[in-house]
Amino acid sequence: MEYHWIKRLPPHLIAQWLDIMHASETTSQIYKSLLPH
């Protein structure tokens, strides 16, 4: 995937997007830890 379009976004949108990515990553880690291994 190419992310060159991100460079054209305003900095506050980039920060918001990174927050969302980090939050979803954390959420998926929580789900994985809750699932029986």
pLDDT value of position 1: 60
pLDDT value of position 18: 87
Taking only the tens place, the pLDDT of each residue in 1-37 is: 676 766 787 888 889 988 998 899 998 898 889 887 6
Nearest to 20, CA basis, from 6, 1, 34, 2: 6
How far are the Cα atoms of 14, 27, 31 from residue 35, in angstroms, in the given order? 32, 12, 6
pLDDT value of position 6: 65
pLDDT value of position 30: 87
Please compute Rg for the chain using Cα positions.
Answer: 14
Is the whole-model pTM more than 0.75? no
pLDDT value of position 37: 62
